[in-house]
A and B are shown apart, each in its own frame.
Chain A
Amino acid sequence: MTLQVQKLAPSHRVDDLLRTERLPHVWCPGCGIGIALQAFLRAVKDLEAKGVIDRKQLVFVTGIGCTGRASGYVRLDGAHTPHGRPIAYAYGVKLANPRLVPVVFSGDGDLAGIGGNHLLHAARRNFDMLVIMVNNFNYALTGGQLAPTTPHGAYSTTTPRGNPERPMDVARLVAALGANYVARWSIHYPVHIEESIKKALPRRGFRFIEVLSICPEIFGRHIGFRSPVDLYERLRKVARVKKPKRLEDIVYDWEKEITLGVFVDKDEPGYMESICSIYNYEWCNELPERRWGAK
């Protein structure tokens, strides 16, 4: 019997946004990155169908890590940059052609660890870009080393007796720095992720969406949740959707609660409009964030 792959894999609604010739992808069975990526691609399709955005203006930038591999599969202008540098690369794209809209899609180690300085300053500047951070709680592509997001006490290959450090609550940090839009979801809420992206993508300023993901093959196996279903359920137990009123109400604690929800939703001028208040550039009236956001 021959396996008829073509017939088993009918075309999918986001196929035209994928470099399908590159499939199958590198992600493990049970990995949550695909859920986050699909939410983004569905959001693009939907916004495009409504005439809000033009995919030709999107630049899809990733860093190094499991999530970073996404740029290899997405059929948009894009870049796969060195470890930690997608936000830095995205600055240049936007400054060189303000009609473009950078979307950074990368992991927690890439964006909050080695690239942390860029994340801080991009948020502080309210720099016009959308950042989607897939948080799988560890450095998975390299075999499960400690990440800034790894829970306190958890095993990693570089903390074999348990993590002595306190983890970083990245969404809360970005909210504190004054970004225009900050949300955190988990892969249990694909529709919420998509709705958040649809809200944030056409918006001006710095927009940050964290997606808690499951990595059963590496993180899960190391902490005793080898089965995707078990890790999925373990994460669901602590992931709580809330409407925090203060920064202090946002919690990142693997044992008690990881707060989900929309933490910041405002519409202050982004970096590009801010420089337009000083200099009269010819592109100032053509910023897509102004026109897309108005639709």
Chain B
Amino acid sequence: MVSLARREFLTGNEAMAEAAIAAGLRVFIGYPITPASDLFEYLAEKLPGHGGIVFQAEDEIAAINALVGATYAGAKAMTATSGPGFSLMAESLGLAAMLEAPIVIVYNMRTGPSTGIATGTGQGDVMQSRWASHGHYGVVVYSPWSVQEAYNLVLKAFDTAWRLRVPTIVLSDAVIAHTRELAVVYEPGEVKIADRKPPREPPGEFKPFKPDPDDLVPPMAFYGEGYAVLAESLAHDERGYYTTDPGNYERLVKRLEEKIHRNKQYVVSSESRYTEDAETVIVSFGTLARSALALVKDLRKQGKKVGLWRPVSIWPLDEEGLLKAVEHADRVIVAEMNLGQLYREVARILGPTGKRVELVPVLTPELPGPDELLGYFEKAGVEI
């Protein structure tokens, strides 16, 4: 088969929209918000031509609930938002996790908190992307640093969401959203995305929340197939029936998180640059990692043994990848556009190694270049 892959000069938002179409998106439900509206507008123009529906909800609360309903009715479904919209989605992000609904959320971070600087970029939502909803549950979060990677990670997000029946988030930012770069994109049908595991028992015997023992993921019956599936937001047993039984509750909540770790090989990924001999490793993610890489290259020219470790999956992190990248280093410096969120995770993982973990907070609505980034090292009193 001749591949129809083509090179396109796209913004991150356009690329993520193209990726969703290639992944088989059937329903996009959005609410306008900077810097995600143009992804919505792009799909409004294009998705109907591929047989899909674009719907503007009355708010983000409606959007995420509708997404969950859409996946139970059998559709690949996605939304795109930013911090304030994601805050509203927090309520039913927990619903999606509880119902094991394979929804995909493109989350373009902007400058917060509150309305913040709507047109600026940011990385303040690392924790919000993981812990926004009440109770303990699992989600998967990927973070791209380029238009191409944004495209690839939206494909990956659909695959993860449907393979694990878990809400999956692409944590991008305002810079990627509106930066135009060359990207290789595919046609629908050219990419392989995981599908649901269909029910193996007939209606009456099928239990919608009974996990397979190997991957802990329950097969999924869609509405309209005659299974009388009850999507129960209350704590439920394998039939989907509400129960306050403590043993059942413990099994359910543990499994919602454990199924991600059990299938870690599909989920986690990271990139190491110049870490083989690095005495100092800078940890950075998303677009800031591009400036960090440029800084690492500058420092290398000065003979300093500096490397970069960049997580691609943020939740969960590639812990083995991080430990390997810092093997020869005695210092690890986390540079991120907040006052220390990824830093906490890195410090937790490296705690037992005794390595020094330092933080360089980069608080600005604009992506700093390598020289400016170095200025933030100085401001934080972190020598390099």
A residues sitting closer than 8 Å to B (CB atoms) are: 19, 22, 56-57, 59, 61, 71-72, 75-82, 85, 87-97, 99-100, 117-118, 120-121, 275, 278-279, 281-282
Contacts and interface: CB of A to CB of B under 8 A. Distances in A.
Given A57-B224, A85-B92, A80 B233 contact: yes
Interface stretch (B60-68, B182-190, B355-363): B60-68
A89 B73 CA distance: 11
Interface of B: 26-27, 29, 48, 51, 53, 55, 57-59, 61-63, 65-75, 77, 91-92, 95, 99, 222-234, 241-242
B233 A77 contact: no
Among B68, B91, B95, B228, max chain A CB count under 10 A is at B228
Contacts of A97: 73-75, 222-224
B227 A77 contact: yes
A79 B69 contact: yes
Main secondary structure of the interface of B (DSSP, over half): mixed
B224 A77 contact: yes
A281 B72 CA distance: 20
A85 B99 CA distance: 14
A77 B68 contact: no
B138 to A, nearest CB: 18
A118 B58 contact: yes
- In the A-B complex, list the 3 residue pairs whose CB atoms are closest, starting with the nearest: A92-B69, A92-B66, A96-B75
Contacts of B74: 96-97
B69 A80 contact: no
Contacts of B229: 77-78
A90 to B, nearest CB: 6
Contacts of B223: 59, 77, 93, 97, 100
Contact of A59 (B53, B73, B77, B233): B73
A237 B67 CA distance: 44
B228 A279 contact: no
A82 B69 CA distance: 12
Contact of B51 (A76, A91, A100, A281): A281
A78 B242 CA distance: 14
Contacts of A120: 58
Contact of B230 (A71, A94, A99, A281): A71
Given A78-B231, A88-B66, A89-B69, 4 more contacts: A72-B242, A96-B73, A99-B224, A100-B223
Nearest to A97: B73
Nearest to A56: B226
Given A77-B229, A79-B231, A121 B58 contact: yes
B162 to A, nearest CB: 14
B261 to A, nearest CB: 26
A180 B58 CA distance: 20
A57 B228 CA distance: 10
22 contacts: A59-B224, A72-B242, A78-B229, A78-B231, A80-B242, A82-B65, A82-B92, A85-B62, A88-B65, A88-B69, A89-B65, A91-B65, A92-B65, A92-B67, A92-B73, A93-B70, A93-B73, A96-B71, A96-B77, A97-B75, A97-B223, A117-B62
A55 to B, nearest CB: 9
A82 B67 contact: no
Among B65, B66, B95, B234, max chain A CB count under 10 A is at B65
Contacts of A96: 26-27, 69-75, 77
Among B48, B55, B66, B242, max chain A CB count under 10 A is at B66
A220 to B, nearest CB: 26
Contacts of B232: 71-72, 79-80
Contacts of A92: 27, 29, 65-73, 77
Among B27, B222, B229, B231, max chain A CB count under 10 A is at B231
Given A92-B77, A282-B51, A75 B228 contact: yes
Nearest to B99: A79
Contacts of B66: 88-89, 91-92, 95
Nearest to A83: B91
Contacts of B224: 56-57, 59, 77, 97, 99-100
A102 to B, nearest CB: 8
A34 B40 CA distance: 43
A184 B65 CA distance: 27
A120 B69 CA distance: 19
A83 B70 CA distance: 18
